[in-house]
Amino acid sequence: MHPRNSMAANATLHCLTGCAIGEILGLMIGTALGLSNTATIALAVGLAFLFGYALSTLPLIQAGLGFFAALGVVFAADTLSIATMELVDNVVMAAIPGAMDAGLVNPVFWVGMMIALTAAFIAAFPVNRYLIDKGKGHALTHQYHRDDDHPQPRDGDAARSQNEHHDHG
Amino acid sequence: MNTNTLAAGVVGFLLGGLTVSIAAELEGDGPAPTHGASNHQSVDR
């Protein structure tokens, strides 16, 4: 596999994991409480962004970055990817007949979640690949990772200084 | 925590939820079969 495709796949999986945790939690809570579809989707999207950002921020903080500096990098790197995933995930979930209204003990809910998350991965992969090609997206956070288990700043002060001058838009 | 571990956990959770929901669905379809007992009704000849 092309190294950038591999990097994009890893970035997408990383985003998707955080998104999935929040999304599943949101849909479970919404479904269990019998919330409306709109309220359930809003809850799921909110939690997906929260967990998605958290999953990316924590390794950077462990790598020695300050909380707000880490948050700034993650906002710039993950927002488009998470937004794409959430859009596709919820549209697919809403499009599957009965999936949003299915209870937690209904297999349609779980099959729907699997289909929606797979579609989200497929949709977000080219987005991450594009961002990496542009030197954005996970390319921004990648410099702080030696690997996923032991994130380290590649070049402490230089990276931090470079980071402060990044356009976070 | 490793992302792959978390991703595997998410997949496992989804599969677990699916398994439990299918089991619940099957349970709701009718009385569960019991060992050594037949649901067939005897017919007097």
Three-state DSSP class for residue A153: coil
Cα–Cα distance between A57 and A5 in angstroms, integer?
23
Question: What confidence score (pLDDT) does residue A115 get?
Answer: 94
Minimum CA–CA partner of A148 in chain B: B2
Place of tokens 């200084």: A161
Question: What confidence score (pLDDT) does residue A134 get?
Answer: 81
Residue scoring higher pLDDT (A104 or B37)? A104
Residue scoring higher pLDDT (A158 or A23)? A23
Question: What confidence score (pLDDT) does residue B19 get?
Answer: 93
Q: What is the pLDDT of residues A113-143, one digit of tens each?
A: 999 999 999 999 999 899 888 877 666 676 6
Chain A contact set for B26 (CB, 8 A): none
Burial of A86 (0-12, 13-18, 19+ CB in 10 A): buried
Shortest alpha-carbon distance between residue B30 and chain A (Å) = 16
Question: What confidence score (pLDDT) does residue A119 get?
Answer: 95
> Do B22 and A107 count as a contact with CB atoms less than 8 A apart?
yes
Question: What confidence score (pLDDT) does residue A168 get?
Answer: 39
Nearest by CB to residue B21, choosing from A13, A14, A106, is A106
Give yes or no for a contact between A93 and A100, defined as CB atoms under 8 angstroms apart: yes
Chain A contact set for B6 (CB, 8 A): 17, 21, 55
ipTM of the complex: 0.70
Q: What's the predicted TM-score (pTM) here?
A: 0.73
Cα–Cα distance between B22 and A47 in angstroms, integer?
27
